[in-house]
Amino acid sequence: MGLMNAAQLLDGHYNGPDLDFGSVSTDTRSLLPGDVFVALKGPNFDGHGFVDKARNSGAIAAVISDSVDVDMPLITVGDTGKALMKLAQEWRRQHPIPTVAITGSNGKTTVKEMVAAILSCRGKVLATRGNFNNEIGLPLTLFRLSDDDEYAVLELGASALGEIGRLVTVAMPQVAVLTNAGPAHLQGFGSIDRVATAKGEIFSTLTAGDTAIINADDVYAPQWRDTVASDVNILTFGWQGDADVHLRDQALATRLVDGAFETRFGLAHNDEAVDVILHLAGLHNVSNALAAAAACLALGVDLKTIVRGLKQLLPVSGRLAPLAGRSGAQIIDDSYNANPGSVDAAIKLLAACQGERWLVLGDMGDLGQGASELHHDIGVVAREMGIDRLYACGTLSAHAVSGFGDAGHHFDSREALVAALQPQLGESVVLLVKGSRSAAMDRVVTALSAEPTGEGC
């Protein structure tokens, strides 16, 4: 893409030569020579202070909204955030490859990894890294697209109405997957109904011949169907046979084999059925696999390839990953993030394990006014599911301890929690560690691991 075309696209003022640029960056630490630097501006940061550093790092131009005293080609626009999205949309348009977009309250990252694993059996795949799923992360993901990529798998996240709609306009998917709607980011959305409406925006740009993937088991499935244009295909996934992609039977088995999870189930579509081996745990991951299979079927992938791709996928760090703990204990590391739906799913997995089952819980963030009650309910669920002990830290998690009862223990800090846990660990103990990113429960995992690999408490 050339700088003159970029300036015209952005309706900006440009003061330099018409040079071609290799990519776009917002971070001088990862900027490559030949990139354009976009000076983003927010409440707690201002990229305009780094334009000179970007030039010294090899940027050939910068996109700015405020005046800067730097001798380099500059494109001046009204809003650099909107400019980043427009540039990403054009970059995506210049790489017209089959693209899958995925959103949902739970499971979107795992489904993204599953779809990418399956499609990698067919060709080179660009997939969202980490949590680069917002109005900054999505553009940066798309700028990684190259002429060698044959598929793109994009995760879309949001905390308010309208965000998914803006993201999907940039992503331009041919297949859009909605995993579910639940109590996540309620502080921004206000209600689960608004969450469902926001997630449904993922279908807003689909056109004739594209495919919407909908969870038939979700109470909002009829609402989402109604938002899909009449000339767009719909594929459903779910537990029952009335879904297009479903379980062949209800016989599921998850077990630990040599320190790794193994889940076996049957997957059916039309008149064909296959046996799946998944190295991930939990019923929710079976549902995630059904969603991923539906997305890949929409792109013409056969079931045998889907089975092969799913089998090669391993747990992502912090997402129900089994680890060896101190004193022979077994840790299930699910510390990456948490909301009530994902905690409930993880508790069900813990309840199915053999041994003394301990839940180690940090606060769930961004739940709005109902946060205390939602934490209390988690404690009740854990007790009713037969969890033996609950160890918690964080202000909100005290309500979970209250709901759990006498075998619940609350601590004011992660350090105090770890100090209490360490001498009690043994070979019979299975610990599930869970919490939102803000709770930093990954530090608890590190402190309790047999072979710590990072910074502990």
Apex CA 123: angle with CA 93 and CA 244, to 5°?
Answer: 85
* 190-228: pLDDT as tens digits: 798 999 999 999 999 999 999 999 999 999 999 999 999
The average confidence (pLDDT) of the chain is 94
Return the CATH class of domain 321-448: alpha beta
* 380-400: pLDDT as tens digits: 999 999 999 999 999 999 999
Percent of the chain with pLDDT over 90: 86
Phi-psi region of 157 (alpha: psi -120 to 50; beta: other; left: phi over 0): beta
* 412-421: pLDDT as tens digits: 999 999 999 9
Q: Domain 3-81 adopts which CATH fold?
A: 3.40.1390
Please determine whether the domains at 3-81 and 95-247+281-311 fall in the same fold group of CATH.
no
> Checking DSSP bridges between strand 125-127 and strand 175-178, what pairing results, if any?
unpaired
* 101-155: pLDDT as tens digits: 999 999 999 999 999 999 999 999 999 998 899 999 999 999 999 999 999 999 9
The residues that bridge with 245 in the sheet, in sequence order, are 237, 269
Residue 445 confidence (pLDDT) above 80: yes
For residue 186, what pLDDT is reported? Answer: 72
For residues 34-52, average pLDDT: 96
- Of the candidates 230, 244, 158, 141, the residue with the CA atom closest to the CA atom of residue 195: 158
For residue 131, what pLDDT is reported? Answer: 84
Residue 456 confidence (pLDDT) above 90: no
Q: Are 423 and 448 in contact (CB under 8 A)?
A: no
For residue 434, what pLDDT is reported? Answer: 97
Map out the domains of the chain as residue ranges.
3-81, 95-247+281-311, 321-448
Cα(193)–Cα(367) distance, rounded to whole angstroms? 14
H or E element: which one contains 434?
strand 429-434
CATH superfamily of 95-247+281-311: Mur-like, catalytic domain (3.40.1190.10)
